[in-house]
Amino acid sequence: MNTEGTNNLTYDADNSILTEVVPLNEITNVAKKLWGILNQRAVEKGLDTALIDAWYRGQAKKSYKLLPSLFRFPHGSSVEVKLFSEYKLERPSPNDWVTLFEMQHYFLPTRLLDWTTNIDIAIYFAANSDDTDSPCIFILHPYLLNDYARKNTNLSHNICHDEEPCCIELHQPPFRYREDWLKKCMDDNALPLAIKPPKIFNDAELNRIRAQSSCFTLHGTSKSPLEEQCPGALAKIEIRDFKRKDADDYLKLTPRDVFPDIIGISMYILDRFKLKPDPEKRITVTLEEMWRNDHERLKQGQYTSFLIPGISGCIINEMYIERGYESNDFKAWLNDKEKSFAIVTGPAASGKTNFLINAIIQNCYYSHHPVLFYSLGRYNPRRYNLMSDIAEFLTKMPNHGIEIINANILRDMIADGRIILVCYYNRS
């Protein structure tokens, strides 16, 4: 491990990504320091950096890669032209850049990756994603990226003005995305480029771009993340001991500042009345209500319409509850955060499910520590991974509401011990 400039600053000699781990209140100063190091690299390459600002991107998790949404789908690139054509058919535009940037804004997969020249905007997005946990901020030097791209392909000359060695200004129309970018990108083995939005948008679009100080990387042939393709143009700040409330107090930004349209107004009102969806709380409430519903039905001797599959044969009865040391062992395991899993075995129809259900219900364990009781018999590995399948199962619960449960959040809650996952499988 090498160091450059400070004892706390490290970078891997193989990929040269400068990285520092700091609390939220130190981000701005550390970002200036990292930008200074990146800018010095650009100067040493003979690049004129007088008029260029740092680009930032906030990520909800430090493990997330710098990969555009199109490449997060295995078949994304194979349907790219159809996606673009379909959207352009529905929303005709004289300029393909407008079409592409609109697709990015409205959550259609593209080769674009969002960046901003305002570090507060980057922090806002890192802190306010549904799956925010261990967030980070990436810093990009756009001239370093484009210098590397130009030296390895001729592609950038095809879409950018050529007055500057590493220009990030796009050509004005006419520009044809399919012909001038996609076909050329396949021919030239194109590398990502740093680009600024062209000045051809209507007022509403311009307001959003200005509010977010937007800029983008446009990715080429490689499906590798940006940090693997051009690590020397990047730095990374990981936020230590992150708490979302601290980010709100630090930034003083509202959704209306970030989204100057009806979306921002709606988000602002939800925040003001404390109606902003909390994905973790929604999962917890869903599980608690499932158990409460089924517990009441069991107590009343009703053995139909259960929300938790597989417990219809359970009876709240002394013969199932009084199991001596087995019950004590199971209760001890439920409260032991050091033991990650337990196995309950026994012959068919020996009461294993009854034992598990009653051990949970006896102490109403679900009311203070959510328990997810899941049948592996319903799992289809050809369709989903396990967490995605469970997330879909919970989303369909009648008591859940309209929000889709995020499989990554569910996985993290289980991994952190905030949900006890009990999987069972009945084998004849």
Please give the average per-residue pLDDT across 194-220, as a whole number.
79
Q: Domain extents for the chain? A: 2-272, 279-424
Confidence of residue 256 (pLDDT cuts 50, 70, 90): confident
Residues 6+ apart with CB under 8 A from 3: 9, 10, 11
Q: How far apart are CA 373 and CA 32, in angstroms?
A: 49
Residue type, 141: H
pLDDT reading at 201 higher than 70: no
pLDDT confidence of residue 124: 93
Please give the average per-residue pLDDT across 267-290, as a whole number.
79
| Least confident range of 44-48, 196-200, 352-356 | 196-200
Q: What are residue 115's phi and psi, to 5 degrees?
A: -135, 170
Within 10 angstroms of residue 136's Cβ, the number of other Cβ atoms is 21
- State the pairing for strand pair 112-116/136-140: unpaired
pTM: 0.67
Strand partners, 58: 137
Q: Among 84-88, 287-291, 414-418, which range has the highest average pLDDT? A: 84-88
Per DSSP, the three-state class of 58 is: strand
Residue type, 397: M
Q: Count the residues in the chain.
A: 428
Q: How far apart are CA 238 and CA 48, in angstroms?
A: 29
Contact 189, 153 (CB under 8 A): yes
Q: How far apart are CA 35 and CA 126, in angstroms?
A: 19
pLDDT reading at 83 higher than 80: yes
pLDDT confidence of residue 23: 94
Strands (E), 172-276: 193-195, 214-218, 234-239
Q: Among 48-57, 239-248, 305-314, which range has the highest average pLDDT? A: 48-57
State percent of the chain over pLDDT 70: 75
| Least confident range of 96-110, 227-241, 266-280 | 266-280
pLDDT confidence of residue 167: 58
| Least confident range of 8-17, 26-35, 367-376 | 8-17
Contact 403, 277 (CB under 8 A): yes
Tell me the C-alpha to C-alpha distance, in Å, between residue 71 and each of 58, 65, 189, 268.
19, 11, 16, 32
Q: What are residue 295's phi and psi, to 5 degrees?
A: -60, -45
Helices (H) then strands (E): counts for the chain: 17, 11
392 compared with 318, residue with greater pLDDT: 392
Closest by CA to 69, choosing from 223, 287, 289, 191, is 223
Q: What are residue 420's phi and psi, to 5 degrees?
A: -90, 120
Please give the average per-residue pLDDT across 23-36, as a whole number.
96
Q: How far apart are CA 341 and CA 158, in angstroms?
A: 57
The alpha helices in 106-199, defined as continuous H runs, are: 119-127, 142-152, 184-188
pLDDT reading at 29 higher than 80: yes
Contact 305, 297 (CB under 8 A): yes
pLDDT confidence of residue 9: 41
Within 10 angstroms of residue 168's Cβ, the number of other Cβ atoms is 21
Within 10 angstroms of residue 70's Cβ, the number of other Cβ atoms is 21
Q: How far apart are CA 121 and CA 125, in angstroms?
A: 6
Q: How far apart are CA 291 and CA 321, in angstroms?
A: 17
| Least confident range of 36-50, 161-175, 242-256, 298-312 | 161-175
pLDDT confidence of residue 166: 58
pLDDT reading at 105 higher than 70: yes
131 compared with 249, residue with greater pLDDT: 249
What average pLDDT does the chain have? 78
